[in-house]
Chain A
Amino acid sequence: MLARTGAVDSAQAVLSLRGIVKSFPGVRALGGVQLDLYPGQVTALVGENGAGKSTIVKVLTGIYQPDEGQILVDGQAVHFPTAQAAGHSGVTAIHQETVLFDELTVAENIFIGHSPRNRFGLIDRKAMREQAGAILNSIGADLNPMVRLKDLSIASRHLVAIARALSIDARVVIMDEPTAALSHKEIAELYELVEKLKSQGKAILFISHKFDEIFRIADRWTVFRDGQFVGQGMMADVTEAELVRLMVGRSVEQIYPKRPAQIGGPALTVVGYCHPTEFEDINFTLHTGEILGFYGLVGAGRSEVMQALFGITRPSRGACRIGDDVRAIRSTAQAVEAGIVYVPEDRGKQGAVKGLPIFQNVTLPSLTRTSRAGFLRLAEEFALARDYTQRLDLRAASLDQDIALLSGGNQQKVVIAKWLATKPRVIILDEPTKGIDIGSKAAVHDFMSELAGQGLAVIMVSSEIPEVLGMSDRVIVMREGRIAAEFAGDQMTPENLVRAAVGSNGGTI
């Protein structure tokens, strides 16, 4: 092991993992990893997707049983046969996609499994409401405990999850990419909350892909790579470059490999697209060989426009021209026939067909090509899948493996491979690198550049300014369902983009 095991300092770890091994059919997810969490400190766990971070969280919360290794709480070996057992030992997790109950109220979500009881042994609703209110107050969350969860924003749901963690008097709080879906303001509030949890002496495991965030709030770091422990230490003693090198095992030099583009004729022209509630009067032209960035705040209507172009929803007015043909796109099947494909933001629900093997995911929209007279030809399917997944540098045990067993970044590669195999004219990528690791991110960016170089027209919806500026030839900024501004060349600056997105006065158009 190329361990750089940080010196064990005076503080005693609340929870330690030693030599944890966990295997799944065909995949060794964890190959003997260690982890230490200290009271009143934030430990950042970093690693590429597929490094084993999600698996370790599941081991810590009693969802997976390790094949080998020890879990130590206050130095005593323990077992977490169930999620309840982990909860009893004071371990709680706030997940990437927070697992809460939509149809229950905020208070019920906070106290599910340990609700206050009245003297008949029934749930004491009044006490539950009051205690929930008190906890929410203590974290500065202005939420009504009686509101149903489905009526809340993602940021508010996170607050509920945190309140739940506090309600069971947790000693160890695991935060798995808690800021992935939050706005800047909400992130700042979350940081304050983390400080509060620290001051209460809780040990926090913080999993994130965002380095600015890790350096802002973490005290310690631990790096995993390909299911192995690589090293750990204090944040104060490490630089960003060193962490990146440990994570990927090589140095990532050029982050945005945008090549000069040969921009050709119009590939897609959208005229006067309107939707009753989501967007209005959308006009733009996309050229072959071009990467067109769509920037805007969450909720500006970018994804909605893209989904209308892809035939998921229908515009109330407007037309679009693909190449020279005017087409009305009423279904995704028609969009694919017309050569427009869409890589959705929500990989788990809209992108990957979990339960089907990798090769079947890749060939799903190309079946007419791999089959003969409607009959499957597996050899052709494997050939197509092998070709495109290799180009994207997919990491998998076999092409016959269920896509659900892959990490998020590798699932994204399969989804992109699926669309490239259809040989599209226009590819729309909706937050293509959201929540994926640096290595996969670079692979996706590199590939986007290559595709544009081959004359494909690319639309990239992204909320990350460096990505938008680094990859796009031109940027359209949307605000409240309308196109607010368009920038190219020298005009493409972070200031211009943000001004147009928030609609501040003096915005240049």
Chain B
Amino acid sequence: MSTTTRQIPDRLTSPLSRALKSWEALLLVVAVAIFIANSLASPYFLDPWNLSDASFNFTEKAMIAFAMAMLIIAGEIDLSVGSIIALASTVMGAAAAAGAGTPSLVVLGLGTGLVCGAFNGLLVARFGLPSIVVTIGTMSLFRGISYIALGDGAYTQYPGSFAWFGQGYVWWVITVELVIFALAALAFGILLHRTNFGRMVFAIGNNATAARFSGIRVEKIRFILFLLTGLMSGIAAICLTSRLGSTRPSIASGFELEVVTIVVLGGVSILGGSGSILGVVLAALVMGLVTFGLGLLNVPGIVMSIIVGLLLIAVIALPRLWTKLRL
């Protein structure tokens, strides 16, 4: 072998110049623009307490979106997250009605999320079924169990201390949910971008076969990702149930699509293989600002869902335009 080989440089483009041209940078600009537009459009927007209330628009969905982002990067998807919330909330409601205390309710909420995630993960990773089919199935299954348990009724007897998760404040206008959201963002950001596990998730999303041929335990990682998504759905179920103070079987319906919307808006490729947690955080803020702004302007719910739908389509189209413009 010749010893006079040329040195191959590690990098040609600096991380900074890459960051400036990234999707995340564009999202940041959009978020700031919406923020400014909102504060001009409504005098009530800049009120700290209003903003604090508005954060509930996205915190619960975003918690799940972090785990969903990793799942989608790995080339899978979980459409049952809304139904996991319903089931976890039902289990907690039943336990609360039977007199369980707040600590037991939290354990039950998290446990239900984990069991549901494990069930999805087992079907996908162990039996090799396509995740979109499996989770469309479990979407009906999990919520179906809630309907059987509750029918037209509702659980409303939650202990007073349980309200802390969804209604409590850590400091001034900073809600408990906002803190959970921030901690989850940090944890998932580190997990995806700074650990071996995250690297393997990217490898699987780009080429699962080659990843297996590289000695990666592909099934194990897929299973863990479903488990994480279940866990985050459990946490979201605790927050949402606590905030509403009641459980109906229709709780969190349609969540799955809003979560996927946030993930895709965040620049995660729906085909897998690329994306970032920072993008998801920014996307959650954009979604929250849009819905809050429209709410302040008294835009009716139907129109709001039309606008969110258009936003999603624009987001699918934009990355393509974006790459075309850059080339």
Contacts and interface: CB of A to CB of B under 8 A. Distances in A.
Contact of B12 (A26, A310, A374): A26
A400 B9 CA distance: 8
A350 B94 CA distance: 50
Interface in A442-495: 443, 446-447, 450
Interface residues of A, number: 49
Given A332-B216, A390-B5, 20 more contacts: A332-B212, A333-B215, A333-B216, A335-B215, A341-B215, A350-B210, A353-B207, A354-B207, A356-B202, A360-B199, A364-B203, A367-B196, A374-B197, A376-B198, A386-B8, A386-B10, A397-B8, A399-B8, A400-B11, A400-B12
B213 A332 contact: yes
A371 B195 CA distance: 8
B7 A390 contact: yes
Contacts of A341: 215
A382 B5 contact: no
B274 interface: yes
B10 A398 contact: yes
A447 B12 CA distance: 28
Contacts of B203: 353, 356, 360, 364
Contacts of A392: 1
Interface string B191-235: 000111111101101110111111111000000000000000000
B2 interface: yes
B109 interface: no
Contacts, number: 114
Interface string B55-80: 00000000000000000000000000
Nearest to B206: A355
Nearest to B273: A355
Given A365-B215, A376-B199, A386-B10, A356 B5 contact: no
Nearest to B196: A367
Interface of B: 1-2, 5, 7-13, 194-200, 202-203, 205-207, 209-217, 273-274
A351 B213 contact: yes
A331 B210 contact: no
Interface in A144-172: none
A279 interface: no
A175 interface: no
B194 A418 contact: no
A359 B210 contact: no
B12 A332 contact: no
6 shortest interchain CB distances as A-B pairs: A355-B206, A336-B215, A367-B196, A400-B11, A365-B215, A398-B12
A391 B209 CA distance: 26
A466 to B, nearest CB: 21
B9 A399 contact: yes
Interface of A: 26, 310, 312, 331-333, 335-336, 341-342, 344, 349-356, 359-360, 364-365, 367-368, 371, 374-376, 382, 386, 389-394, 396-401, 418, 422, 443, 446-447, 450
A336 B273 CA distance: 24
Nearest to A391: B1
A400 B216 contact: no
A64 B11 CA distance: 26
Contacts of A386: 7-8, 10
5 contacts: A354-B206, A355-B274, A356-B203, A375-B194, A401-B12
B12 A375 contact: no
A399 B1 contact: no
A443 B215 contact: no
Most buried by A among B197, B206, B273: B206
A276 to B, nearest CB: 19
B16 to A, nearest CB: 14
Contacts of B13: 400
Contact of A353 (B5, B8, B9, B206): B206
Given A26-B12, A352-B207, A353-B203, A364 B214 contact: yes
B8 A398 contact: yes
Nearest to B210: A353
Q: Which of A352, A364, A368, A389 has the most CB of B within 10 A?
A: A364
A397 B12 contact: yes
A418 B10 contact: no
A450 B199 contact: no
Contacts of B273: 355
Contacts of B9: 397-399
A393 B206 contact: no
A350 B217 contact: no
Nearest to A399: B10
Nearest to B193: A376
Given A331-B217, A386-B8, A400-B11, A447 B206 contact: no
B1 A393 contact: yes
A393 to B, nearest CB: 5
Contacts of B200: 364, 367
Contacts of A447: 1
Question: Chain B CB within 10 Å — which of A26, A355, A382 has the most?
Answer: A355
B171 to A, nearest CB: 30
